[in-house]
Structure 1
């Protein structure tokens, strides 16, 4: 069966789709028997990639949802498109209404069977759920791993600390991906939030532009030194593929150097280990 990795955020728009695409693009070729991963847009608010890359309305997430409702669910691969950067995706249509219903079907037993496939299916599905909601809770429970994407300031990290991941049985399978500048060391974030694995993803505008380019293979670097986002995404991909054990699992990737930040994270709040999925009260944060 395929490996299922849920990629999402607690609040805001910290770069979930960019993280999923970069991770898929950096997926190690030796993993999963050489089968490339598939990014599935499963955001109840609607998809972005169809418009961004000028893709047709079909195939899409709606086809996967339709297959999930059949007595014998079809193949996920029948709805796959390939982006110019070489990443395989199942895109979602714009609009909250159809996408929310599609995600609801995807979270059911039939939808999970389509995502995971049969015993002989290999590979990894990176499920881009956008902001976490009650609609995706069954998918969180079924996931092998979860990547929670956040910005590195005190406010977004406080939102992470206010949520309850333990209630969704995914705390031990969680990697916190901190996008952009962050004044706090990874080890302090991990200790304060009770999260074992923290990885920093630099905001690399050139790599993001290349990934969104219509030019085939634009994300690949021709020089000897890969872009910072590519390096960090490669580390995250190897970790998710089970090819890298990095001790405590914490670190910052700036270019190819691991560094530590400065500052004191959420002073006075203590260790909470809480990460709430929707429906959570955030007024006290």
Structure 2
């Protein structure tokens, strides 16, 4: 039931870019699908000129009527092409009202669709705030990936949310540092683990810190729909960093159920 939730608590450090980037370079076993769950509304329709429907609203409606996530995703995903990679995505409508209405369905009776046994769901959860409907989604996640910049303001803001993030569920909490870091990952990890152990009285190992991501405008433009991927797009620094991240995330993700050969071919197409 692998579910990776991508979110952030301050600024706008690129949750959609990271969710799509991870899916685009995922290992074959992951068979990822990106689901836009941002309560503020989706970006993929506009950035990549995708169809407005089907959307996460249709995913929520379909999830209520079937217990077979594979069939649900076949009906509501559309392919987003990054050169030769075809990433199945479930878009969210621009604006947030429809997504906010759909999220309780996906984390309640229809939660099985987000924890599909045959693929990794990468959920773009946008900005995390008090009262956000994505908190219930984080409780389902095997990995909660929190984006942050390694500067004093973002680290302080992140510290204030650590208790709630740890309490959100039993999934692994991973902090991913963005480009332009003022502090190295080891220093940020030390600050956070000290806070967790001494002030929150929790396991200091509850959080791991990855990054920082490289500053790579070309890859960001490809993932943002502003630039066509070249032949060597996978070698771009940001893409390579996302690919390496799967080695760090894999130990916390349940094994993806194998598909029969014919179904596996259909899923990959």
* TM-score for both structures, normalised by structure 2: 0.78
Partner of 1:234: 243
SS at structure 1 position matched to 2:147: strand
What is the deviation of 1:82? 1.1
Corresponding residue to 2:80 among 79, 83, 92: 83
Partner of 1:5: 4
Distance 1:135 1:40 in 2: 15
Corresponding residue to 1:126 among 122, 125, 145: 122
What is the deviation of 1:50? 0.7
Per-residue displacement from partner, 1:186-239 (whole Å, max 9, x unpaired)? 1111111123232221231001112234777x16516xx921101211111232
Unaligned runs of 5+ in 1: 245-285
What is the deviation of 1:109? 2.7
Corresponding residue to 1:70 among 16, 41, 65: 65
SS at structure 2 position matched to 1:159: helix
Partner of 1:144: 142
Q: 1:180 to 1:214 in 2, by over 3 A?
A: closer
What is the deviation of 1:43? 0.5
Partner of 2:192: 193
* TM-score for both structures, normalised by structure 1: 0.74
What is the deviation of 1:72? 4.8
Q: Is the 8 A contact 1:28 1:238 kept in 2?
A: no
Q: Is the 8 A contact 1:9 1:149 kept in 2?
A: yes
Distance 2:226 2:179 in 1: 25
Please provide the CA RMSD for this pair: 2.3
Partner of 2:173: 174
Q: Is the 8 A contact 2:47 2:225 kept in 1?
A: no
Distance 1:145 1:47 in 2: 21
Corresponding residue to 1:55 among 23, 34, 50: 50
SS at structure 2 position matched to 1:45: coil
SS at structure 2 position matched to 1:233: helix
